[in-house]
Amino acid sequence: MDIFLDTADQQQVRRWMDYGVVDGVTTNPTIMRRNGVGDIERHSRELARLIDPRPLSVEVTTNDHDEMLREARVLAKLASNIVVKIPVINEQGLPSLAVIRQLSEERVRVNVTAIMSFGQVMLAAKAGATYVSIFAGRVADEGGDAAAVIRRSAAWLARWNTPARIIVGSVREPANVQDAAEAGAHIITIPPALLEKLIDHRYSRDTVRGFNEDARAALAESALRAST
Ligand code: E4P
């Protein structure tokens, strides 16, 4: 299973890449804004260079299909490892399937985003998505069962040998990450602050503290024995 970092923060990307756990990066317009990014193209180019050859997902920002295609082609040309994020439907509920199909025919890799259901996964995958992004936290916000959506999608993709890979995003607690992994996510995209929680455990720290204290005490005891 791969882990992507859900951030536009280059410092955090560098740090978690150094730990050897980052297989790619995902962004969206909200993440860009939260990280103070004004010039999305310039920032995406820098991020793409930083993580090359790992994939970087960058999202289009329009409801209009022709404009989506235009933005997608511009983004895809910024760097060879850029994957274009296309929302599965637009604000009005119009499917982006023709856009996804067209881009995949042009060999632009598409991450179909804002997916909340197994049905959306099937259609996006059939249209040519490279990645299908299931928003686990938002599914759960509406009372849905995110693990069931992931499990059914993973089984269906495997059963029919469909190449689309599942990215589970919108994870908010360590338990969400563990549940998504168990349900068969191919990739989970995780904000740095949540990775921090995933590695930490109060009892691990207590355990290490106990071992270190005993090691120091044992050393002091043997020094005392040697001197008497
Ligand atoms: C994933 O690709 C999305 O960018 C992200 O995980 C959405 O998370 P949110 O629901 O916390 O905004």
CA of residue 170 to ligand 1 center, whole Å: 4
Distance CA 43, CA 74 (A): 14
Residues 122-137: b if buried by 16+ CB within 10 A, e if exposed: bbbbebbbbbbbbbbe
Percent of the chain with pLDDT over 70: 100
> Is residue 65 pLDDT above 90, yes or no?
yes
CA of residue 193 to ligand 1 center, whole Å: 13
Show the 3-state SS of 25-83: EECCHHHHHHCCCCCHHHHHHHHHHHHCCCCEEEECCCCCHHHHHHHHHHHHHHCCCEE
CA of residue 135 to ligand 1 center, whole Å: 6
User: Is 126 a known active-site residue?
Assistant: no
Give the closest residue to 179 by CA, choosing from 204, 152, 150, 201: 150
Report residue 31: phi and psi, to 5°: -65, -45
Which superfamily does 2-190 belong to? Aldolase class I (3.20.20.70)
Q: Say what the pTM is.
A: 0.95
Q: Give the number of the atom of ligand 1 that is nearest the alpha carbon of residue 27.
A: 4
Ligand 1 atom 1 nearest Cα: 169
Please report which confidence band the pLDDT of residue 228 belongs to, taking 50, 70 and 90 as the band edges. confident
Query: For the chain, what are the domain ranges?
Result: 2-190, 202-228
Q: Give the number of the atom of ligand 1 that is nearest the alpha carbon of residue 28.
A: 4
* pLDDT (tens digit per residue) in 67-96: 999 999 999 999 999 999 999 999 999 999
Please report which confidence band the pLDDT of residue 3 belongs to, taking 50, 70 and 90 as the band edges. very high
Give the closest residue to 108 by CA, choosing from 135, 87, 133, 78: 78
> Is residue 51 pLDDT above 90, yes or no?
yes
Choose one of 44, 113, 134, 170 to mutate for the ligand 1 pocket test, by most ligand atoms within 8 angstroms of C-beta. Answer: 170
Give the pLDDT score at 122. Answer: 98
Q: Is the dihedral of CA 126, 127, 131, 134 positive or negative?
A: negative
Six token digits for residue 125: 């995958």
Give the pLDDT score at 206. Answer: 98
Percent of the chain with pLDDT over 90: 100
Q: Which residues line ligand 1 (CB under 6 A)?
A: 6, 26, 28, 113, 133, 135, 137-138, 169-170, 189
Please report which confidence band the pLDDT of residue 164 belongs to, taking 50, 70 and 90 as the band edges. very high
Q: What is the mean pLDDT of the chain?
A: 97
* pLDDT (tens digit per residue) in 173-195: 999 999 999 999 999 999 999 99
Residues whose CB falls within 8 Å of the CB of residue 162, separated by 6 or more in sequence, listed in order: 125, 126, 156
* pLDDT (tens digit per residue) in 5-45: 999 999 999 999 999 999 999 999 999 999 999 999 999 99
Q: Give the number of the atom of ligand 1 that is nearest the alpha carbon of residue 133.
A: 2
Task: Please give the DSSP secondary-structure letter assigned to residue 117.
Answer: S
Ligand 1 atom 12 nearest Cα: 170
CA of residue 137 to ligand 1 center, whole Å: 8
Six token digits for residue 25: 């990066």
Distance CA 103, CA 108 (A): 5
Ligand 1 atom 3 nearest Cα: 169
Give the pLDDT score at 214. Answer: 98
Ligand 1 atom 2 nearest Cα: 169
CA of residue 128 to ligand 1 center, whole Å: 22
* Helix (DSSP H) and strand (DSSP E) numbers for the chain: 11, 8
